Amino acid sequence: MKFLFVAATAIATASAFTTSPATFTTSVPQVGGVRDVFSQEGNAHRNRRSTIVMDGKANAIRDRITTVNNTKKITSAMKLVAAAKVRRAQDAVLATRPFSETLQSVFGGLINRLGGEAADLPLLTQREVNKVTLVSITGDRGLCGGYNSFMIKKTEARFQELTDQGIDCDLILIGKKGISYFTRREYPIRATYECTQNPDSKQALSISEEIINSFLSGETDAVELLYTKFLSLISSTPSVRTLVPFSASEISQKGDEVFQLTSDNGDFGVERKELEVAEPQDFPNDMIFEQDPLQIVNSILPLYLNGQILRTLQESVASELAARMQSMQSASDNAGALSKKLSQEYNRARQASVTQEILEIVSGATALE
């Protein structure tokens, strides 16, 4: 019996030190190369999908929350910058208003003095339309919602409409977004200009000279302006108006409106104010002009065109900035909602990890009893 007990003990001890294939893996050389020992483990690692670690730390979720919050700070700052630029555009519109009123008053008085003689001026002459030039105003940058896409679609639709009527068209493009879009699609382009965030009279003058020269030389029979009419911070409308030839009645009888950016409890808003038509200046019949009144009117028309282009540029820039404000506000709201959702997931992960640790402690204590 003693011998059998010693033999059994020796066999048990030997079996404890016996290696199993599952415990150790050996590399067996083969012809043509060496088999990769960890090939299966490497494939499993590459095919593994990323999962949320429920270990109480949840570093991936925490890092993403930080990134989202930083993005929210950036979009909020961009909204405030756009609001400041809208106010600057508002001040620019108000600064040009006295000149526009005086020009409209003098023009109305001269038209009343001349009567039907003003109809003979080249810029007021209506002629048969065989070719139209479209002036399209877009932005130079993105991150402004559908501002640029709406204006591009409006220009394409108007171009197609005139082409279907058998009228030749070409384009004068203002803004990098419109220039890049129509250039890639090989549209007939007469001239291109950049649309800065602060349009000035020099920029408007170069555009108006191109328009007037094209019309007076007979290269085009009409010029239409496509721009974005500023309505409010959440609304703007793509609009079309005829620039050349002018309408004397429209110049002397058309009113104006200005907008003013306001704020109430941190919320931005816009107040619009309709302005009455400037009263025509009274020129007595016995007044002697140093120059011919027709020449004066002919000199006023380019100034009027320059002012109208500057005004539409400023209004388009205000519409772009308002669209950017709205877009950044939406981005900030979405970032806040996403941050709140991620915070909930992070808290759930921490709670699950803490609960698991408590269960392990309780199970261990129960096992020791």
Question: What DSSP character marks residue 118?
Answer: G
Which amino acid, 247? S
Contact of 88 with 320, CB cutoff 8 Å = no
Q: List pLDDT tens digits, range 200-227.
A: 888 888 999 999 999 988 899 999 999 8
Q: How does residue 252 score in pLDDT terms, banded at 50, 70 and 90?
A: low
Report the C-alpha gap between 187 and 169 in whole angstroms.
9
Question: What are the DSSP calls for 225-254, one per residue?
Answer: EEEEEEEETTEEEEEEEEEES--HHHHHH-
Q: List pLDDT tens digits, range 175-195.
A: 999 999 999 998 999 999 998
Report the C-alpha gap between 334 and 230 in whole angstroms.
26
pLDDT of amino acid 7: 41
- Residue 166 half-sphere exposure, CB side, CA atoms within 13 Å? 2
Dihedral angle, C-alpha 261, 262, 263, 267, nearest 10 °: -60
**CA nearest neighbour of 320 among 174, 204, 214:** 174
Residue predicted with more confidence, 16 or 180: 180
Q: pTM of the entire structure? A: 0.69
Residue 144: active-site member: yes
Set 144, 162, 278, 305: catalytic member: 144
**If 0-12 CB within 10 Å is exposed, 13-18 middle and 19+ buried, where does residue 70 land?**
exposed
Average pLDDT of 42-51?
50
H helices present in 171-221, as ranges: 176-184, 201-216
Residue predicted with more confidence, 306 or 37: 306
Share of the chain above pLDDT 70, in %: 70
Contact of 187 with 220, CB cutoff 8 Å = no
The CB-based long-range contact list for 279-285 (8 Å cut-off, 24+ gap) reads 279/105, 279/108, 280/105, 280/108, 280/109, 280/111, 280/112, 280/252, 281/105, 281/106, 281/108, 281/109, 282/109, 283/109, 283/110, 283/112, 283/113, 285/113
How many CB atoms lie under 10 A from the CB of residue 329? 18
